[in-house]
Amino acid sequence: MEHHRPGVGSLPQPVSEFTISDQEFRLFQDLVKAHTGIALTEHKRNLVCSRLSKRLRGLGLTSFQRYYDYLNAEAGEAELENFVNAITTNKTDFYRENWHFKFLEQEIVPALKARVARGGERRIRIWSAGCSSGEEPYTIAITLREAIESLLAWDIRILASDIDTEVLARAAQAIYPEERVAEIPRPLLERHFRQGTGAQAGLVQVTREVRNLVTFRRINLLEEPWPIRTVFDCIFCRNVIIYFDKPTQHRLMQRFATYLKDDGHLFLGHSESLYGISDQFAFLHHTIYRKHGGQELLPLRTAEATT
């Protein structure tokens, strides 16, 4: 296991010595929207103040206006990455919204196997868009390893992307505190994770066989064009579009549709919906959508799953 100290979890934020005015908050709202597509609402003001205060202290600046001016100056161009990393929220778990992975295992994989039986290629492409610290793409990879017996005969690639370079670096390490995997059934833990010892006690690492299925890349979903040259069987974009306004959501869904195969599936977060946003997808259930024109899949055979 590589030596690595995982990032500290969410801790109570200290009271900031800085205050942010209405005008300054509006400036940062516009800046965040321009660079990430995220629409910050008023109730995020304290979060913005807390997270950006750390950047002010690190740079020796005395006000949010000075920080904003610095970001917009040539000298502050490199700081934009730190700014985006500070603002974006990263919260995820292994097997979060587990019904999605059951659908992948019980419906999509059998359909892909049937495609092979009809002469199709043993090829699977999945995109985890907004992958955060890696739990989602690794859960996808584990699901595929469990569901496909002759895995080495398949060409499987999982693209995992995020705008936050810090969480991508942690995700690539694939090291997590034991409490992050406490809800994973022991047989899966034993097959797909390695226990840390000595200085690494209390940590686990995803096995190399699982990690080899996943490629991490920084992708801003607002970028045009995306640096992607393939079409996908599935796109997971969960708990991401909730932070965008409706026009941005609409454009994003249009672009996702062009990157999905005709029988491709889109997975959204539990509080997200395409109602009034896109007519290019057919709703199945449990925030699972199929691109229009794709083949029918039966409803999920298991009882309604829980996370």
- DSSP readout, 275-302? TTT-SSEEEEETTEEEETTPPP-PPPSS
Is 162 labeled as catalytic in the residue annotation?
A: yes
Q: Of 96, 145, 162, 238, which residue is the catalytic one?
A: 162
82 is in which domain, residue-wise?
22-87
pLDDT in tens, 154-191: 999 999 999 999 999 999 999 999 999 998 999 999 99
Please tell me whether residues 74 and 104 are part of one structural domain: no
Same-domain check for residues 49 and 136: no
Q: Do 135 and 66 share a structural domain?
A: no
Residue 51 falls in the annotated catalytic set: yes
State whether 272 and 143 are in the same domain.
yes
199-244: per-residue pLDDT in tens? 999 999 999 999 999 999 999 998 999 999 999 999 999 989 888 8
List residues bridging with 177 in a β-sheet: 203
Are residues 266 and 243 located together in one domain of the fold?
yes
Q: How confident is the model at residue 78 (pLDDT cuts 50, 70, 90)?
A: confident
Kindly write down the DSSP assignment for every residue of 146-207, as one continuous string: HH-TTGGGSEEEEEEEES-HHHHHHHHHTEEEGGGGTTS-HHHHHHHEEE--GGGTTEEEE-
* Cβ–Cβ under 8 Å, residues 164 and 124: no
In this predicted structure, what is the pLDDT of residue 300?
38
Task: Look over the chain and give the mean of its residue pLDDT values, rounded to a whole number.
Answer: 87
Task: Say if residue 161 is in the same domain as residue 240.
Answer: yes
| CATH number of the domain within which 29 lies | 1.10.155.10
Strand order in the sheet with 281-285: 214-218, 155-162, 123-129, 232-236, 260-267, 288-291, 281-285
Give the model's confidence band at 88: pLDDT under 50 very low, under 70 low, under 90 confident, else very high: confident
The active-site residue, picked from 51, 55, 96, 170, is 51
| pLDDT, average across residues 126-139 | 96
